[in-house]
Homo-oligomer: A and B are copies of this chain.
């Protein structure tokens, strides 16, 4: 029904997560409405991103350089390491602009139900890096979930015996949230982790 070139474009947009037939059609028609310059820039950007972006050999963050800007920045605190589950988390924390240490990006989280063990998410490299480095604190900043907790506990365990503080980011009621919409697990965690007001 659609001309072939349009049909192909619609199919491509369905690769994106959460994009079904209707959204893919809308996106394909949007491309047709772009001027040539914009469409070329989009196509080129896709290919350039795939060609240039790779993981930093040190921290596994995404970069287009040999090592990423954070690893090569001597002004950052070399004694604090924030462990995250994906490259996107690095950018989320960097946007805050309040963390000045280094990062280590895991390849996901331990998930025994999905057959994903510690060796699958790069914990060996993390341990090697920590042993070679000069870290005083490891901050675990992974999703508060079964997988996140499992991964955190595992990391805590393999770092036992090293003279390093292992912390994890706080879990609880999000700022500004209505109490009635908070799920019981979160509320339970918020209650258990209550802090004295000083």
Report A's interface with B, CB cutoff 8 A. Answer: 1-6, 8-9, 11-13, 15-17, 25-32, 34, 36, 38-53, 62-65, 87-88, 91, 94-95
Bound Cα distance A63, B6 (Å): 9
Given known contacts A62-B32, A88-B29, A52 and B3 CB-to-CB distance under 8 angstroms:
yes
A63: contacting residue among B3, B28, B95, CB under 8 A: B3
A91 touches B53 (CB 8 A): no
The interface residues of chain A, by DSSP majority, are classed as helix
B65 touches A3 (CB 8 A): yes
Given known contacts A15-B30, A25-B88, A48 and B3 CB-to-CB distance under 8 angstroms:
no
Bound Cα distance A25, B89 (Å): 12
B39 touches A8 (CB 8 A): no
- Contacts of A38 on B, CB cut-off 8 Å? 12, 15
A17: contacting residue among B1, B30, B36, CB under 8 A: B30
Q: How far is the CB of A48 from chain B (nearest CB, A)?
A: 5
Q: How far is the CB of A135 from chain B (nearest CB, A)?
A: 23
Q: How far is the CB of A68 from chain B (nearest CB, A)?
A: 8
A45: contacting residue among B5, B47, B65, CB under 8 A: B5
A15 touches B42 (CB 8 A): yes
Bound Cα distance A190, B15 (Å): 41
Given known contacts A62-B32, A88-B29, A43 and B47 CB-to-CB distance under 8 angstroms:
yes
Q: How far is the CB of A88 from chain B (nearest CB, A)?
A: 6
3 closest A-B pairs by beta carbon, nearest first, are: A3-B64, A5-B52, A43-B43
A6 touches B49 (CB 8 A): yes
Given known contacts A31-B46, A46-B39, A62 and B16 CB-to-CB distance under 8 angstroms:
no
